[in-house]
């Protein structure tokens, strides 16, 4: 039985509510599987460099051959040969274009290694093997989001909603649909937010922000998440005093810093809400390296995504 199948089997045979320890045990197994499939960016960068070097030589050889064919076409008066050379040249040009496209794609992969942690993609692949994920398209997005609620809704709003929702388990989207407040997205160039009292959610151009705000939605409407969050917060911040979040925040915005990767994770809402899952999901899907710096947080967040 594969590690993913073992996780699925444990989830399928689980009875009752998930305890914090049980959630983290599933998350620990998923974290180990992600690590097994993760290739260090520097190792992958070297592999790409070797591939690019080979492609460069092949491109240069094809350029040289194409040049020779051009010369032969001009020098020969033999119509059959000229036709043959022209055919070969057309194929050579197509081959050069194909090789250059492969080289460009490798370049994108190379620079992407340093702009996006590959573990986020591995998480999404593994999560999709454990349970149904996403499934939101332009054809069905209006089932899950009231795009007509605000007159300023745009194609950008729809695109942001689809991208953010497709990161999450399909069952969570069903819980969101059944919630007493419909999800009501629109666009902002200011601070994004989710209003728990109305279902209003403001998206912007950043996937990380939109995933974060959707996290607040699921915190509110997916059974078990808030309870687990409350327990995790209490354990992590035991003995911590409230402090002002600092420059850029209102004086009323306070946190229990603990050893969270970002002090915002400990923001206090009097137990009515938290920033833990929203920040955790944000990192999991868009900046996994930051989540992995806190293994306790990582295993909990992964466990929630797999079990709730």
Does the pLDDT value for residue 109 go beyond 90? no
Measured distance CA(110)–CA(46) in Å, rounded: 9
Res 260: pLDDT? 93
Residue 254: phi, psi to the nearest 5?
Answer: -125, 160
Q: What pLDDT score does 244 carry?
A: 94
Question: What is the per-residue DSSP string for 57-70?
Answer: HHHHHHHHHHHHHH
Nearest-angstrom CA–CA distance, 253 and 275: 12
For the segment 84-103, what is each residue's pLDDT rounded down to a tens digit?
A: 999 999 999 999 999 999 99
pLDDT at 82 over 90: no
Cβ count within 10 A of residue 253: 14
pLDDT at 115 over 90: no
Pick the closest to residue 243 from 274, 267, 214, 275 (CA basis): 267
- Range 217-238 average pLDDT: 96
pLDDT > 70: what percent of the chain? 98
DSSP count for the chain of H helices, then E strands: 13, 5
CATH number at residue 81: 1.20.58
- Whether the per-residue pLDDT at 41 is higher than 90: the answer is no
What is the percent of the chain where pLDDT is above 90?
78
Which two three-digit tokens encode residue 216?
A: 């607040």
29 and 48 share a domain?
no
pLDDT at 116 over 70: no
Residues 132 and 98 in one domain: no
Which of 18-22, 48-52, 150-154 has maximum average pLDDT?
18-22
179 in Cβ contact with 220 (< 8 Å):
yes
Average pLDDT over residues 268-277: 91
- Is the domain of 190 the same as that of 255? yes
Is residue 220's pLDDT more than 90? yes
For residue 243, what are its two tokens? Answer: 């402090």
Strands 193-194 and 184-187, sheet pairing: unpaired
Q: How far apart are CA 137 and CA 170, in angstroms?
A: 12
Domain that holds residue 128: 3-38+118-307
Task: Based on the fold, state whether residues 158 and 271 are members of the same structural domain.
Answer: yes
Same domain, 101 and 199: no
Looking at residue 190, its pLDDT comes to 85
Closest CA to 93 of 66, 70, 67: 66
- 102 and 123 fall within a common domain: no
- Same-domain pairing of 295 and 167: yes
Question: Is the distance from CB of 11 to CB of 307 less than 8 angstroms?
Answer: yes
Residue ending a domain, choose from 67, 85, 112: 112
Tokens describing residue 117: 């942690």
Residue 114 confidence (pLDDT) above 80: no
- Residue 184's nearest CA partner among 212, 193, 170 is 193
Asked if residue 208 and residue 87 are part of one domain, the reply reads no
Same-domain pairing of 103 and 145: no
pLDDT computed for residue 43 by the predictor? 80
Task: Give the per-residue pLDDT at 46.
Answer: 87
pLDDT the model gives residue 84: 94
Higher-confidence residue: 306 or 152?
306
Q: Indicate if 100 and 127 belong to the same structural domain.
A: no
Check: CB of residue 255 under 8 Å from CB of residue 279. Answer: no
What's the pLDDT score for residue 272? 87
Q: How many domains does the chain have?
A: 2
Query: What's the pLDDT at 150?
Result: 85
Per-residue model confidence (pLDDT) at position 230: 96
| pLDDT at res. 55 | 94
Neighbours of 221 (CB within 10 A): 22
165 and 242 assigned to the same domain: yes
As a whole number of angstroms, the distance between CA 176 and CA 210 comes to: 15
What does the pLDDT read at residue 242?
92
**Residues 278, 229 share a domain:** yes
Q: Select from 94, 112, 130 the last residue of a domain.
A: 112
Domain boundary among 112, 127, 162: 112
CA distances to 181, 213, 242, 243, 264 from 254, rounded to whole Å, are 28, 19, 6, 5, 9
Instruction: Give 297's contacts (C-beta < 8 A, 6+ positions apart).
Output: 260, 261, 265, 276, 280, 291
pLDDT score of 110: 84
Residue 20 has pLDDT above 70, yes or no: yes
Give the integer Cα–Cα distance in Å for 26 and 188: 37
Average pLDDT across the chain, whole number: 92
Tokens of 228: 């687990």
């Amino acid at each position: 039985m594969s590690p993913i199948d073992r996780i699925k089997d444990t989830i399928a045979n689980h009875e009752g509510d998930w305890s914090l320890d049980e959630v983290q045990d599933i998350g620990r197994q998923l974290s180990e599987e992600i690590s097994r499939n993760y290739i260090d960016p520097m190792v992958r960068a070297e592999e790409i460099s070797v591939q690019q070097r080979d492609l460069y030589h092949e491109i240069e050889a094809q350029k040289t051959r194409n040049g020779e064919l051009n010369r032969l076409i001009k020098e020969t008066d033999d119509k059959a040969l000229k036709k043959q050379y022209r055919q070969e040249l057309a194929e050579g040009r197509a081959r050069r274009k194909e090789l250059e496209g492969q080289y460009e794609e490798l370049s994108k992969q190379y620079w992407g290694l340093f702009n996006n942690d590959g573990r986020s993609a591995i998480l999404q692949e593994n999560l999709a093997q454990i349970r149904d994920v996403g499934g939101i398209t332009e054809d069905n997005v209006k089932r899950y989001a009231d795009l007509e609620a605000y007159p300023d809704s745009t194609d950008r709003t729809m695109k942001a909603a689809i991208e953010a929702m497709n990161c999450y388990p399909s069952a969570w989207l069903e819980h969101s649909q059944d919630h007493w407040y419909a999800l009501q997205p629109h666009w902002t160039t200011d601070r994004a937010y989710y209003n728990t009292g109305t279902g209003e959610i403001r998206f912007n151009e950043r996937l990380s922000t939109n995933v974060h705000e959707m996290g607040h939605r699921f915190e509110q409407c997916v059974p078990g998440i808030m309870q687990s969050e409350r327990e995790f917060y209490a354990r992590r911040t035991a003995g911590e005093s409230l402090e002002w979040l600092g420059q850029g925040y209102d004086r009323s915005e306070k946190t229990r810093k603990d050893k969270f990767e970002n002090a915002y994770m400990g923001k206090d809402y009097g137990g009515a809400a938290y920033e833990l899952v929203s920040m955790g999901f944000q990192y999991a899907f868009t900046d996994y390296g930051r989540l992995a710096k806190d293994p306790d947080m990582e295993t909990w967040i992964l466990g929630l995504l797999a079990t709730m």
